């Protein structure tokens, strides 16, 4: 009777139906499942923990179809660029370039969420999985990033989203796009080339893992006010509002996978999806680390914090108070400079005198410690989540 307890739990049964999960899949984890459920009383969160197929989206049955809610996170690169902006003096020659990169990243995120809105109009077949911001490592020297990956039993769709104002002109030899806005021109990487690279990468991954499923690609411009000229005729290109009609046509394709194969494929793709570790931004943008501002900085505006007492710091510029600024500022070092730090480097960067404060923070961040004495080196533990140390942007910067 106890082993079958979860079969009689109406809430769990309803959620399993909602997420299209075979309730028998929970049988082997029933004791652990119910223990965790009793602690959290959150069925959706508990199901997501024990069934990896459903943590990226929520779907709702409607007349035999599925409506998708896509949960897209703000990209890590946005927060990292905010860190770099805070550490650069306004007079620095690269300051405006970094601000431009922040604006481009912000616009890209808004374009992706706008496209998500229209994708959510589509009534998908029962078996579908959507992974926003999909990253995959093909080998040590090659990663690919896909804005949106849609998987069904009939096809895989690779979606590249662009949110660029003005007139976009596709150029050949070499392939790039040129944006004309307010009588100014700027070149960007060709999104069709990126789609071709992503297509090649997914094809290789499927072949290496013994999967055979048709793959399609789509380039989506998020804004209908964008003017597109000289677009390649051999690439599917849409505005966000038109894109759902193309997906609906793909949904009429015959299934190429069984239910079991679909679940296994999506599980493998989810397990493969992992953000790659980006190179330190100072190296990426060719910035001398000695030109960065030192001190314990405010994560909201980037000005220096002043210590009120042992537990609290405050920013005199924006009024922000912080009880854990050392960890956030240490994250600056790892993101901007290099993936390891010594006690001396840290004291110099943060303009601190107390080793005790740093040792306490090192332990709290669970940094990996190697060496002894002055030669001790501290490295980030890649398995530890660092969202608690993300900078909080001002209202003018938040995507």
Kindly give the interhelix angle for 76-87 and 325-336, rounded to the nearest 10 degrees. 100
**pLDDT over 60 at 197, yes or no:** yes
- Residue 45 is predicted with a pLDDT of 43
In this structure, the dihedral spanned by the alpha carbons of residues 338, 339, 343 and 348, taken in order and rounded to 10 degrees, is 30
- Residue 324 is predicted with a pLDDT of 86
**Rounded to whole angstroms, how far apart are CA atoms 193 and 63?**
39
Q: Supply φ then ψ for residue 280, to 5 degrees.
A: -50, 135
* Arithmetic mean of pLDDT, 338-346: 90
- Residue 140 is predicted with a pLDDT of 82
Q: Does residue 271 sit in helix, strand or coil?
A: helix
**Rounded to whole angstroms, how far apart are CA atoms 137 and 303?**
37
* Arithmetic mean of pLDDT, 368-393: 73
Read off the tokens for 54. Answer: 């459903």
Residue 69, by phi and psi: left (phi above 0), alpha (psi -120 to 50) or beta? Answer: beta
Give Cα separations from 315 to 41, 306, 308, 327, 387 (angstroms): 39, 6, 10, 16, 21
Length of the chain: 399
**Rounded to whole angstroms, how far apart are CA atoms 114 and 121?**
12
- Which regions of the chain carry the CATH code 1.10.10? 294-389
Read off the tokens for 28. Answer: 């082997």
- Residue 391 is predicted with a pLDDT of 72
**Rounded to whole angstroms, how far apart are CA atoms 223 and 115?**
9
Q: Supply the CATH classification number for the domain 294-389.
A: 1.10.10
In this structure, the dihedral spanned by the alpha carbons of residues 361, 364, 368 and 373, taken in order and rounded to 10 degrees, is 40
Tell me the three-class secondary structure of 131-187, residue by residue. Answer: EEEEEEEEECCEEEEEEEEEEECCCEEEEEEECCCCEEEEECCCCEEEEEECCEEEE
> Could you say which DSSP state residue 66 is in?
E
Mean pLDDT of the chain: 83
Dump pLDDT digits (tens) for 290-337.
999 999 999 999 999 998 887 899 999 999 899 889 999 999 999 999
**pLDDT over 70 at 3, yes or no:** no
Dump pLDDT digits (tens) for 219-260.
999 999 999 999 999 999 999 999 999 999 999 999 999 999
Dump pLDDT digits (tens) for 147-166.
999 999 999 999 999 999 99
**Rounded to whole angstroms, how far apart are CA atoms 255 and 261?**
11
- pLDDT band at residue 61 using 50, 70 and 90 as cut-offs: very low
């Amino acid at each position: 009777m106890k082993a079958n307890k979860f079969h009689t739990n109406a809430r769990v049964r309803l959620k399993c139906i909602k997420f299209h999960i075979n309730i028998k899949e929970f049988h082997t984890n029933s004791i652990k499942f119910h223990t965790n459920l009793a602690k959290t009383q959150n069925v959706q969160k508990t199901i997501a923990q024990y069934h990896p197929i459903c943590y990226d989206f929520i779907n709702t049955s409607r007349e035999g179809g599925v409506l998708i809610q896509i949960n897209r996170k703000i990209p890590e690169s946005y927060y990292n660029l905010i860190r770099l902006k805070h550490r650069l003096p306004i007079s620095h020659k690269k300051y405006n370039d970094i601000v431009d990169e922040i604006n481009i990243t912000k616009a890209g995120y808004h374009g992706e969420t706008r496209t998500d809105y229209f994708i959510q109009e589509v009534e998908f077949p029962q078996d579908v999985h959507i992974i926003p911001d999909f990253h995959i490592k093909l080998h040590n020297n090659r990663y690919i990033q896909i804005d949106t990956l849609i998987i069904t039993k009939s096809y895989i769709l690779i979606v590249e989203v662009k949110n660029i104002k003005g007139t976009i002109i596709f150029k050949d030899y070499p392939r790039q796009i040129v944006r004309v806005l307010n009588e100014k021109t700027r070149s960007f990487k060709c999104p069709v080339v990126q789609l071709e690279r992503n297509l090649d990468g997914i094809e290789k991954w499927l072949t290496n893992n013994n999967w055979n499923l048709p793959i399609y690609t789509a380039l989506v411009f998020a804004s209908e006010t964008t003017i597109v000229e000289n677009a390649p005729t051999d690439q599917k290109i849409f505005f966000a509002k038109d894109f759902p009609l193309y997906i609906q046509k793909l949904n009429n394709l015959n299934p190429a996978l069984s239910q079991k194969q679909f679940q296994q494929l999506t599980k493998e793709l989810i397990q493969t999806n992992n953000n790659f570790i980006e190179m330190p931004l100072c190296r990426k943008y060719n910035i001398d680390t000695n030109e960065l501002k030192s001190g314990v900085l405010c994560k909201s505006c980037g000005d220096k914090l002043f210590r009120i007492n042992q537990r609290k710091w405050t920013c005199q510029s924006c009024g922000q108070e912080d009880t854990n600024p050392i960890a956030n500022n240490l994250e600056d070092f790892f993101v901007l400079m290099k993936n390891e730090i010594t006690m001396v480097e840290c004291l110099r960067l943060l303009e601190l005198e107390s080793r005790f404060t740093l040792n306490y923070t090192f332990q709290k961040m669970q940094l990996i410690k190697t060496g002894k004495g002055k030669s001790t080196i501290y490295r980030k533990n890649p398995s530890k989540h660092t969202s608690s140390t993300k900078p909080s942007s001002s209202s003018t910067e938040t995507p």
